[in-house]
Structure 1
């Protein structure tokens, strides 16, 4: 079985048809989904979705590019006080789209790590074109004490090693399957299997052979297949390891699978 460690059911074009997306994913062997927040305004809707579907868990946080409410750590931690919310985030740094606001992003990221400490929950980290600052903030804020996921990882091996040293799991998306992702595939082959996760980040980043389409949770299987090929191991080995890794980080979700 597989787990999609990072998806956005609520951002699918036909987000009301969650039943169909879930059914398709289950047919392809996906048993659990972490439906990740990008703002706090939709908290109640995400909780309602997770309560309706036991195989979906959720998070609370503000995307680095988000422009809505931006709570202080104690407020964000209080918002995370719900059994269906298993993580803080996604949060982090995105210098690709927000090059003019790095200081503001760094302060938001620090608040999220502090909220994770207060809530006692892992943090989901978005990092793009900001490897050094991401590692620095995680280290300075003692993020290894809460742990978490580096979602949609696209950086090099030295960055991966630094993030692993901080105690984080590294999640690979459909980008792994892209034609121009040779460097990422080389890095993926070096990351210890017991620290890897897989994701879709749906509705974004549809993997080969679905490039250009709206990504679906079912297609996390293509990421697993590519990762197995890259590492030269059976698909079942990757599926078992990445699923177990997820449940090690979020043990409360195992019973719902």
Structure 2
């Protein structure tokens, strides 16, 4: 009986968070006329062609570009953040505390407040209209949270693990790749999902930095359903479902690791 209020609260939260996606899913099977005439009801005739039209409208190309950008961002964030966190936690040096503080401070910097400086930097480096103009900022803005979580995890690991590896003749690289990384799979999964969601959903930088349709990402591709005077809302709903499913599946598959990783990374060093 004591758990009933908790279950009621969780059910209400499920309805509040799940209804927008459910409404979008139902709307993706309607015609544009029915989308306005009956916005809250089930479709009279389920129009599966919306997904075919969305796919033929170029969503598959934008989807592939988003997969590439997200994959590079995740790999770059994991490798960079893991190495930085390992050094700061296990091999502190003069100024390492200040460096850690600078990384953590990056969490409070608004992502899009750097749009103009980043644009000028990318222009000077001749990286505009290339995927590298997204790789570098996405990885950079994923590092603060990643370093914060990984540092807390590496810091709380017992010294005996490192001492045993040193006795066996392991160097710093072997200790990092064969001892610490395998133990940090849960926290790495958490960092990977956070970085993936940020890169997958980011809109403003992709809009400003990329003008070539061949390399534009999914959030920009969704704008193709909007014309000068009309918008294909049914097709847009289908495209939104396609774009949301990969992230939802990723989180469902690794949700346990996310919970464990956030708990492990929250240890104060």
Q: TM-score range, shorter-chain basis?
A: under 0.3
Task: Provide TM-score, normalisation by structure 1.
Answer: 0.22
- Identify the structure with bigger relative contact order (alpha carbons < 8 Å, sequence gap 6+): 2
**Higher share of residues assigned helix:** 2
